[in-house]
Chain A
């Protein structure tokens, strides 16, 4: 990453404290019906890095007999955590749909335990945001890794008040 990219990302993040980002991304995942119903939690945000936790529930199962999580849950989680990292990796939050996502399944995830997710922005260009994410239950044993590329629709295609809605009405950043 070049020095200019670094400073641009820092200036975007410097506006708001990690606690403010955590509250903003918590609001973000709570507005998404799928992640709200699954109870996804935002643990920590250190732009452009995001750390989340998906609590256990029986609906996440894929192999009931062996007690393994459905692979699709892991893809869904990587899409969400990478997409959330995008918001805090930009100069200002923008609407960025997923262009593509690639997931490598290292080992099965086990029933009964929460799944931890972390993602970070690797690079921002005028058109794209490149991200990567990792999932684990035991920190020494990653479950899956994802590479997600997101398209910047730009401020023109971002609804007015998007950042204000994310950070609450009292946002003065």
Chain B
């Protein structure tokens, strides 16, 4: 099997190396909207970033980012952050997603930080906060429930 999310060894190795860039490379829609991740300078987690690309605009009058693109960014961030912070290498699947829009997301770089509130044996709850200029002025908060898939053997 080629390297990728369903290759258990590859998933474990990229996770151990914290190689979130390798994960993002394999997510075409996340690449299309311009999602990246960097280590959080003030902690041991990650900060995710969404580039202000022209095709991410949803309102040309304000102008503002498409709310659905901001949601897709936060869903991506929550999923990858969980893959990194879970107790073992797992491939999560989003069950449901909820987002509250707090402020207009202008066409500048957007950041997101995630918090794993609960990791059970089968389910996880992840909270995501997105901001632009200042983290204490979030543009949106989101919550994901994810099912944690069991790692599959290579010959599955």
Contacts and interface: CB of A to CB of B under 8 A. Distances in A.
A33 interface: yes
B69 A60 contact: no
Given A34-B56, A34-B58, A75-B97, A64 B26 contact: yes
A70 B94 contact: no
B67 interface: yes
Interface stretch (A17-25, A44-52, A95-103): A95-103
A101 B98 contact: yes
B27 A70 contact: yes
Contact of A65 (B4, B71, B72): B4
Contacts of B60: 31-33
B39 interface: no
Q: How large is the interface on A (under 10, 10 to 19, 20 to 34, 35 or more residues)?
A: 35 or more
Interface in B53-108: 54-61, 66-69, 71-73, 75-76, 79, 93-101, 104
A37 B55 CA distance: 7
Nearest to B147: A105
Interface residues of B, number: 40
A126 interface: no
B112 interface: no
A32 B66 contact: yes
Interface in A72-103: 72-73, 75-80, 83, 97-103
B43 interface: no
26 contacts: A32-B58, A33-B56, A33-B58, A33-B60, A59-B29, A60-B28, A61-B27, A69-B29, A70-B72, A70-B76, A71-B94, A72-B71, A73-B72, A75-B68, A75-B71, A76-B66, A76-B68, A76-B72, A79-B71, A97-B67, A97-B101, A100-B100, A102-B97, A103-B96, A103-B98, A105-B95
